[in-house]
Structure 1
C-alpha cells in the first residue's frame, strides 16, 4: 500500500500544470544529427514524447515542434521508447494550436535538412533531382524543367524507394515545395532523415 502511494505521489509530482493529451505532433530533436520524436502531450513546463533514438535520464535535449522555437530541457524519465522532458523555462505551448503566428505566417512542422536524390513525376513530366529538406508534411526540391504550382504527382526518395504523393505548393528561385497528401509517420520520416 505504501509503495502504491509513493508511486502515485511521484506521478503527481511529475505532472504539474495543465497538460494536453493526444497532441501527436512530430518533433525535431535538435542535435549534430537531428532526430525525430512524436509528442504525445505538452504543457508550459514540459512534454512527453516517443523517440526513435531514446535519450537517457538526465540528458539535456532541445526539441522543436510546430508553433514553438526550439525548446531546451532535461530528460526526467524514460519508459520504453517514451520519455518525459522538463523544460528549462516555461513555454507558451498554446501556440502549437494557433493557425497563425504573430507575424501572420502559418506555423509549420520542423524541417530537416537533407542531401538526397528523388525521382519526381508531375503530370507527364519526369526528372531526378536533389531533395533539400523534408518535414512530416512536405519537402523542398530542386526544380528541373517546367514545374508549376498546383501540379499533382509523386516523388520517390532514393535509395529507400519510398513513394510519396502530393502537389506542388510553390515554385521560386529554381526550387519548389511539394506538399504531401498525407503526413509521414514518425518512423518513415526518421528513416529518410537518417539517410546520409
Structure 2
C-alpha cells in the first residue's frame, strides 16, 4: 500500500514538473452545448489552470479554446473555489499562444462567441439598432443597415441591462462592421453576454 502511494506521489510530482508559462488574463472559451468563459492563469503542454465563472466538477470532461490553439479536450483534476486544473487528453503545442502569426500566416486572436442580440449603436448624435453577431473580450461584429465608416467612435447599448460599451468601428464590409472596445470586457460581462445570446 505504501509503495502504491509513493508511486502515485511521484507521478503527481512528475506531472507538475512540466514546463509552465504564466498567462494571466488569457481568455478561454468553453465549447459545447452551453458555451462559457474562463480566464487561464497558466498553461503547459499537458494542461492549464483557470478561473471559471461557473466552476466545473472534478472528473468533468471539458473542451477549452484559447488564442493560438484549436479547441482542446481535457479532464478536470481539481477544483478550489472558482479555480480548477484541467489535464489535456493529449500534449498541446501551447507555445502557439505566444506567436504573432499562425502557421497559415493569419494573426492569432482570442476566441469569439457566437451571439444573436439586438443592441443600440450610438455614433455622435446618431442612434440605430444593430444585431450583434459575435463577441470577444476585445470587440464585436455587428450587422446593421445604417451607413458607418471605420474610425467612427461611439458606444453599444445593451437592453434591458442598459450596459454601455465604448469603442471604435474598425472595419466595414457588406452590411457588417467590427467594433473594437476601448478596454477589454470584464469576464463577468462577457459571460453574461454569452449566456444571454
TM-score by length of 1: 0.91
1:144 counterpart residue number: 145
* CA shift digits 1:50-76 (9 cap, x unpaired): 001111111111000111110111111
* Distance across 2 between alignment mates of 1:48 and 1:155: 33
Q: Do 2:51 and 2:83's aligned partners in 1 also have CA atoms closer than 8 Å? A: yes
Q: State yes or no: 1:97 paired with 2:89.
A: no
Who is 1:35 aligned against? 36
Aligned length: 191
Question: Which residue is equivalent to 2:69?
Answer: 68
- DSSP 3-state at the match of 2:22: coil
How far residue 191 of structure 1 moved from its aligned partner, in angstroms, is 1.1
Give distance in 1, aligned partners of 2:154 and 2:11: 51
CA drift at 1:159: 2.3
Q: Verify: 1:123 aligned to 2:119, yes or no.
A: no
- In 2, the alpha carbon distance for the partners of 1:96 and 1:147 equals 33
Relative to the length of structure 2, the TM-score reads: 0.90
1:1-196 alignment, distance < 5 Å: 12-196=13-197
Unaligned runs of 5+ in 1: none
Consecutive unaligned residues in structure 2, runs of 5 or more: 1-5
Q: Tell me: CA distance 1:10–1:97, structure 2 relative to 1, closer, same or farther (3 Å).
A: same
Deviation at 1:78, TM superposition (A): 0.6
Contact kept, 8 Å, 1:24 with 1:41, in 2: the verdict is no
- How far apart are 1:147 and its partner, in Å? 0.8
- 1:97-143 Cα deviation digits (max 9, x unpaired): 11211222111111111111111012332101111111101001112
Shift in Å at residue 14 of structure 1? 4.5
